[in-house]
Amino acid sequence: MNKLYFFTLFFLLTGVSTLLQAQETDTRTASRIRLREHVYNLASDSLTGRLLGTEGNLIAGEYIAGCFADAGLDEYNGTSYFHYFDVKIPSVVPDIPIAVIEGCNVIGILPGTHPVLKNEFVVIGAHYDHLGLAAGRIADGDSIYNGADDNASGTALLIELAGLLKEQGGLSRTVVFAAFDGEEQGLLGSEQFLIDSLFPQDRIRAMISLDMVGYY
């Protein structure tokens, strides 16, 4: 691993760990409660599994954007947290899609504090979409893939880290908090994040992916 990447990751993780250890017990408890609430909200039956292109997925994206705003993150492009992209659903006829579905990454920015290093980026990402409804019954009459671990857990941690790092005052480098859509269909949101070059790739110094962190 490149030394710069290693030390960026090391200081990010140790900084968050030190912050958590230094907090009062009631603050740590509040953080755990918020994490649980985020998972419950994102994995709620009302969101019907957060499948790409569904109303439940849209509601989840709006929820994340609201959390980013509450944490005090900047919009990634100065006007919005939403990074939209089109997903073509293939048909049996080559080059003719059955439909085009709109996907949406949710991206917030915590500006860096160093006059030079603020122009470099650390990306922390988690996908928030899941599988939606099952074709048949899963168990006990339930047909919803709620996706609490995959990946409401990672998204909840992403949201909580955003708030903690904001309270800490940020890092030397700019931190990009990215909630990706369309992961279950083949990493579509994260791929589009790179295709659209939202941030110069030669200035991205590290990327941390938070995926299925609900088990330990």
- Whether 18 shows a pLDDT value over 70: the answer reads no
Label each residue of 30-83 as H, E or C: HHHHHHHHHHHHHCCHHHCCCECCCHHHHHHHHHHHHHHHHHCCEECCCCCCEE
CB burial class (10 A; 0-12, 13-18, 19+) of residue 78?
exposed
User: For 67-107, what is each residue's pLDDT tens digit?
Assistant: 999 999 999 999 999 999 999 887 777 777 788 999 999 99
User: For 191-205, what is each residue's pLDDT tens digit?
Assistant: 999 999 999 999 999
The label of the residue with tokens 């009062």 reads: 24
The label of the residue with tokens 């110094």 reads: 205
- Whether 125 shows a pLDDT value over 80: the answer reads yes
For 34, half-sphere exposure in the C-beta direction (CA atoms, 13 angstrom radius) is 19
**Domains observed in the chain:** 3-209 (3.40.630.10)
Q: What percent of the chain has pLDDT over 70?
A: 84
The label of the residue with tokens 């710069």 reads: 4
d(CA 189, CA 104): 7
